[in-house]
């Protein structure tokens, strides 16, 4: 979870490069009301996703973890005309909120919102996809990575949020704040990105850690 109060530096960058329009602000307000603001990506991370999509000419995108649709709107807005975002969410209230957001932001026709557990839903999604954005339950990141390795085209991207787990993943002993599975599986995910020759990536040192890896 991100720090809720943005630093002066973050505010400067967001207002200059990633200003929110009324659609994104409405999602922000609903997240704040539900006390879930900060579970979503930040505005500038939305812009980073858009840049990565443009660089790779991403058209078919999968997102694992929709929440209220904040990151999904950033993604859907730079899809080309024939593009599609498949986004997966298991929580029914989140699905309801995301559906509303996609409609209000005018991107519903480009988004397939799938309600269910991601590991089940992914079985029905077959690549090649251009980009996969992993942003759901941390202990399943290695399984999401295996799915991505099989379903992202060569030269496509695997992007994953929270891969520093607030910095806790960087220490050699499991910190109290994390479950054994969260700590061990995120370490395994990061090591796979570093050592497995199917991937060429790193962690962009945002507050939470944003992994960007090419499927080679």
Give the residues lining the site for ligand SAM (CB under 6 A): 39-41, 65, 67, 70-71, 88-91, 94, 117-118, 135-137
Task: Tell me how far, at minimum, the Cβ of 118 lies from ligand SAM, in Å.
Answer: 3
Cβ-contact 80, 106 below 8 angstroms: no
Residue whose beta carbon is closest to ligand SAM: 65
Nearest to 101 by CA among 168, 155, 172, 21: 21
d(CA 2, CA 22): 22
Q: Which is nearer to ligand SAM, 42 or 198 (CB)?
A: 42
Residue 134 vs 213, nearer CB to ligand SAM: 134
Instruction: Report the nearest approach of ligand SAM to the CB of residue 64 (Å).
Output: 7
Cβ-based nearer residue to ligand SAM, 190 or 198: 190
Helix residue ranges per DSSP H, the chain: 8-17, 22-33, 43-56, 70-76, 92-104, 118-123, 141-151, 180-195
**Shortest distance (Å) from residue 165 CB to ligand SAM:** 12
b/e burial code for range 119-152 (CB count within 10 A of at least 16 → b) = bebbeebebebbbbbbbbbbbbbbbbbebbbebb
Q: Which is nearer to ligand SAM, 43 or 192 (CB)?
A: 43
Nearer to ligand SAM, 39 or 214 (CB): 39
CB of 35 to ligand SAM, least distance (A): 13
């Amino acid at each position: 979870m991100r720090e809720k109060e943005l630093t002066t530096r973050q505010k400067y960058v967001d207002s200059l490069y990633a200003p929110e329009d009324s659609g994104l602000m409405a999602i922000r307000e609903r997240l704040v009301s539900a006390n879930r603001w900060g579970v979503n990506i930040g505005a500038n991370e939305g812009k980073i996703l858009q840049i990565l999509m443009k660089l790779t000419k991403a058209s078919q995108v999968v997102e694992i973890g929709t929440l209220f649709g904040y990151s999904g709107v950033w993604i859907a807005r730079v899809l080309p005309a024939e593009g599609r975002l498949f986004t997966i969410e298991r929580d029914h209230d989140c699905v309801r909120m995301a559906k509303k957001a996609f409609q209000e932001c005018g991107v519903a026709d480009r988004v397939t919102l799938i309600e269910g557990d991601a590991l089940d839903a992914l079985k029905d999604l077959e690549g090649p996809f251009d980009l996969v954005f992993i942003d759901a339950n941390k202990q399943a990141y290695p399984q999401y990575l295996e799915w991505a390795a099989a379903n992202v085209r060569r030269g496509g991207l695997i992007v994953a949020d929270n891969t520093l787990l607030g910095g806790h993943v960087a220490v050699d002993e499991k910190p109290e704040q994390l479950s054994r599975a969260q700590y061990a599986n995120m370490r395994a995910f990061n090591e796979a990105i570093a050592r497995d020759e199917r991937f060429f990536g790193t962690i962009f040192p945002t507050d939470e850690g944003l992994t960007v890896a090419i499927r080679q």
